[in-house]
Structure 1
Amino acid sequence: MTRGDGTGATGVDPQQLWLNPGRSGRGRKPAFSREAITTAAVALADAEGLEAVTMRRVASRVGAGVMSLYSYAPDKETLLELMVDHVSGELPTDDPLTGDWRTDLKAIGHFQRALMLRHPWLPATLTTRPTLGPNTLAFLERALAALRPTGLDGAARLEVFSLLTGFVAGHVGYELSRSAAAHSSDRAAAEAPYLAAVAADGHHPELAEALSAPGRPLGPDATFARFLDRMVDGLDTD
């Protein structure tokens, strides 16, 4: 999504950022590379959360003055774009595809989840960072190739990939919030008897039936795999 002036919805010009990545001309000649600055920002976000990423904190990490950072990242929006594409480079793009699009799409979903769990700030950031850098584009290219056996046209394959990414980001966001709640309170212990009481009150028969069904593996990996299977196996490509 871009604006009429060619810049992205975040105000970042993707052509300037990715195709003409020279210095902005602001400040003195930097002593550090864009890669080093981005790596430091990612490490800071991983350790303390995205709100901790300020130009001043990143500059301190690389031992530079704040004005030096502006030569490569003129604002925080640009820095976030660089961070997203930087971690996207951890996604595999060269492993051979199986040719079974459902199998390959599920593998892509698992790779995305693992990446987002390593970088917990990423799911929320994806919803506001529409620019596609080189690493992001490489993984997108792989996903579109994986979906070619569906027979869908290119636009529809893009939609399927967007659907998958949105699902994974939403699920990981839920996982992270549940994990944080479990560590900060006994919410889960209190929730079980409450739901049991509600199910037994006679006013929620559908819920009572659902809760009485045979248990399924509740570990986060098993739960994600089950949800991913349901989503991908249910996709209609006709």
Structure 2
Amino acid sequence: MVNERREAGDDPARTLELLWREPGHGASRRGPRQGLTVDAVVQAAVELADSEGLEALSMRAVARQLGVTPMTLYTYVPGKAELLDLMLDAVYLQMPRGDHRAAAWRTKVTAVANENRELYSRHPWVATMPTARPPLGPGLMTKYEHELAAFDGLGLDDVEMNAALTFLLDFVHSVARATLDTQAAARDSAMSDEQWWAANAPLLAKVFDPDRFPLAARVGSAAGAAHQGMYSPEHAFTFGLQRILDGLTHLMSRPPR
């Protein structure tokens, strides 16, 4: 998607002011509807994106959902770029977070992965957002502080802790994006993966030579039978997460430097 979070005319100072506003505050002194707040605008935008996707999100659509004119909305949020930052930080702040301080480290790291996977399940549009420069709001900082705690005390230095968390989050994000792609393919073709492969199997059999591609034939058949298609988000998540945990175990077992 086009990076609408960083467009000409953005005011970083205004964005940070909105991100770090006091909870429940943010009512505009301008405009006809004094009961409206920045929080209400952000919540309406999140609900719209959850139900219809970011493609349907616009200042006009949010204003219509709130029963105000688009110009009224601009007295609360400067534009769509800032609104996207506020939305992302809001869902970060609202993430359910368990208290795993007494748990084993693998349990804590697994919990972080599952919490982020649940975030993408609740708000699929988050997986389509650019992640290079996330909003520096209380939601992001609360999330970062909570997730770093899963790696604290494992013998990693600060740079390694940050790298390990980033690696884990990038993995969960990649599975979420692949899941969205799988769902989109099923929706666009009106067929599940299993149905699609069954429909194309006769055509593939005419052109595919298993003697020429023996490994592809053997492994592809095994994977297809196991997953009813070439890709299973559930298997990809479980398999990949275990390999990350195994890698951390190896890193933690190195001799002290």
Provide TM-score, normalisation by structure 2.
0.75
- Aligned residue for 2:45? 41
1:82 Cα shift?
Answer: 0.8
Cα contact 2:127–2:177 (8 A) shared by 1: yes
**Which ranges of structure 1 fall in alignment gaps of 5 or more residues?**
1-7
- Aligned residue for 2:239? 226
The answer to whether structure 1 residue 59 and structure 2 residue 63 are counterparts is: yes
What's the % identity of the aligned pairs? 35
1:195 Cα shift?
Answer: 6.7
| C-alpha distance in structure 2 between counterparts of 1:229 and 1:40, whole Å | 38
Matches within 5 A, 1:87-126: 87-126=91-130
| C-alpha distance in structure 1 between counterparts of 2:122 and 2:11, whole Å | 26
SS of the residue corresponding to residue 92 of structure 1 reads coil
Residue deviations 1:137-187, cap 9 Å, x none? 112111111101322122222222222222212211111211221233243
| C-alpha distance in structure 2 between counterparts of 1:23 and 1:147, whole Å | 36
- Aligned residue for 1:202? 211
Cα contact 1:109–1:165 (8 A) shared by 2: yes
SS of the residue corresponding to residue 129 of structure 2 reads helix
Matches within 5 A, 1:8-19: 11=10, 13=12, 15-19=16-20
Computing the radius of gyration from Cα coordinates, the structure with the larger value is: 2
| C-alpha distance in structure 2 between counterparts of 1:171 and 1:33, whole Å | 35
| C-alpha distance in structure 1 between counterparts of 2:208 and 2:108, whole Å | 39
Provide TM-score, normalisation by structure 1.
0.80
SS of the residue corresponding to residue 162 of structure 1 reads helix
Number of equivalenced pairs: 231
Query: Given residue 225 of structure 1, which amino acid in structure 2 is its aligned partner?
Result: T
Query: Given residue 122 of structure 1, which amino acid in structure 2 is its aligned partner?
Result: V
**Which ranges of structure 2 fall in alignment gaps of 5 or more residues?**
none
- Aligned residue for 2:170? 166
| C-alpha distance in structure 1 between counterparts of 2:163 and 2:33, whole Å | 40
Residue deviations 1:10-49, cap 9 Å, x none? 6452533334678698964762111110110011111111
| C-alpha distance in structure 1 between counterparts of 2:64 and 2:71, whole Å | 12
Residue deviations 1:31-69, cap 9 Å, x none? 211111011001111111102111111111112222222
